[in-house]
Structures are given as C-alpha cells and as structure tokens.
Structure 1
C-alpha cells in the first residue's frame, strides 16, 4: 500500500488547469470552482454545458507544453489515453502535479470525495482504489453533517477569535471549543 499525504490547496496560491471533456470534466470543474479555483479549461470538443461552465476560461484545444509553464496542478479528464499520457509526461517534466481521472498509474495525487459545509471540509479518499466506496462514505457524511454545520463552525470560530483576542492560549481555547461542542450536543 502506498502512503499518501492529505493536503488542502489554496487556489489563491496554486495555479490549476483542467483538461477534458464530458460529464466527468463538468463534475471536476464544478468541484474546483466550489473550492474557490478559477482554472483555465482546455477542451478540444466541449459540450454546451462545459463551455458555459468554463466561460471565458475555455480554450478549445489541448494545452501546448509552453501553456503548462507556471501551472502547479493539472487535472485531466475524459480525453483519449494517448493524449492524457502525453500531457501527464509534459506536466511532470515541468514539476506539475498530475491527476488523470481513473488512471491511477498516471496520478501524482488523487482528488478526494468532498462534503462542504461553509468552511468545514470533510473528505474521503481511497487513493483512487475505489471511487464507489469514497462516494458511499461521502453520502453518509452528508447526512451526518447537514448544512447547519456551516453555522456551527462559524460559532466556534467566533469563540476562538474572542478567546485569542483576550489572550487565551491553545489548550484553553481547545478546551472551551470542545466544551461548547459538548454543551450543544453537536456530536453524539
């Protein structure tokens, strides 16, 4: 089993590009946008919906090697295997992290299944081994953590900010936050 390192990327500091077409490309683009990214989208034959979602970020071609310069993370979805392999190789030559949807040997990273509740981000990953399991667990997490968790996190963040402003240190802040969670009965 390969080891993995979970990270959350800040799209304000990471240049992301999506290359692809079809329903999986649309899904990936929506996930990237939901995460705050505004990726360049390269799609030789985008359908109407992908073109509309990508808007001004759409380029109706595959990226040239020069267009990959300065990219940090490249998502490849729904293009022919030979083109995906070529793009993955070109990206790696430029030290770009690559994810080729459902082609584990071509992936430097895997995008987890995601539940967003405001700033609360819950993720599930199987390292690309079983997207079906990741999806099933994500669906369960959606029921365990309904949308009200966005407000709960905001309440905890406000408490943390007040305590920090009053000079409280880490252990005291942690204890106060855990006490609030317990008092409200948020986690059984």
Structure 2
C-alpha cells in the first residue's frame, strides 16, 4: 500500500450505492472537501436526502465514468458491483468496492480530522475493526483543539517564510513552539 492524500477539488469523484455505508462514505467525502456525483438506482430516503441535487437515480454509463478518476461503490448486489468495477477500471478509473478487497484498487483509511491535521490508519482492508480502534485512540490523543493548533503553527510558518526564514529555521521555530506549549508529550 502507498498512502496518498487526494485533493477532491482536482480529482473528480463519484459514488455509486445505497444504504448506511454509502451515506457514511458520502459524509466522509464531503468532510474531506469533496462533492461527488452520486448514483443510486433505488436510493433509500435517508441516502437520497443526503445526496440532494447530486443524486442521479441510475447507474453511471461509460461516458459518465469517463468524467471521474475515483469511484466508490457500496450497497449494491455483488454482481452489479463487480460489473461496475470492471467497467470503471477499463476506463482508467480507480475503484473501491466497500469490503470487497479483490475489487479494490485502493482502500480508504480510517480518519481523524482536526482542522487541517489529517491522521489516517489503514490495515490494507484486512481489519477495519483494528483501524477503527486505533482511530478511536488517536481521537483521544489528538483532541479537537489540534485544529486551532494547526492554524497557530501555519501562521508562524507563513510569517517566518514571509520574513525570508529558511525551511530549517521554520522547522526549528515550529518544534520550539510545540515543545513550549507542551502539545506533544
């Protein structure tokens, strides 16, 4: 596995599915700044409401898949998921079929988001339960206050870089700030 942080403003994403897993994934994509197209032939009421005007009540066709680079699939019949994954992959689209490792080009890590601080945990799809337990532990080690801390660190970095400081000077100042504030035990 190779970890990658994807910018959804630059990489078009689509989600195909239904049910609670699809709703959770859609929420996660939006928390990360994405606004994916959503396809679902027969969405339940909750998923349809969450998808809103991004919902297309059908499966995507080849031309629609050509417009995306990443496709998430979940909550469909296994044969439909497999067919959709194969079609997408034939179009050069990276595919993740939730909990079907042989159909995945990538796995979505468990995430702790604290403002611009993004901590991820992955077991390569082998143990989502372990990833969830580690995520819960990291949530306690890195409370919500880290969002503010990242803004303070970024402001320091921007100020120093604006003054012409070298990257090593910025790194030292950042380490000194973190140590002085006791942010990392």
**TM class by shorter-chain length?**
over 0.9
Aligned partners of 2:101 and 2:48: how far apart in 1?
A: 27
Superposition pairs of residues 146-165 of structure 1, within 5 angstroms: 146-165=143-162
CA RMSD of aligned residues (A): 0.6
Aligned to 1:125: 122
Deviation of 1:64 (Å): 1.2
Aligned partners of 1:48 and 1:140: how far apart in 2?
A: 34
- Report the secondary structure of 1:19's partner residue: strand
Aligned to 1:6: 3
Deviation of 1:65 (Å): 1.6
Superposition pairs of residues 40-51 of structure 1, within 5 angstroms: 40-51=37-48
Superposition pairs of residues 3-42 of structure 1, within 5 angstroms: 4-42=1-39
Task: Answer yes or no: is 1:97 the counterpart of 2:132.
Answer: no
The two structures have a TM-score, normalised by structure 2, of 0.98
Aligned to 1:75: 72
Deviation of 1:105 (Å): 0.6
Aligned to 2:179: 182
Deviation of 1:61 (Å): 1.1
Number of residue pairs the alignment of both structures matches: 185
Deviation of 1:70 (Å): 1.9
What runs of 5+ residues in structure 2 fail to find an aligned partner? none
- Report the secondary structure of 2:184's partner residue: coil
The two structures have a TM-score, normalised by structure 1, of 0.97
Aligned partners of 1:96 and 1:63: how far apart in 2?
A: 13
Task: Answer yes or no: is 1:136 the counterpart of 2:133.
Answer: yes
Q: Deviations over 1:89-136 (max 9, x none)?
A: 111111100000000010000000011111111110001000000000
Deviation of 1:174 (Å): 0.4
- Report the secondary structure of 1:153's partner residue: helix
Aligned partners of 2:48 and 2:97: how far apart in 1?
A: 20
Q: Deviations over 1:141-161 (max 9, x none)?
A: 111111000000000000000
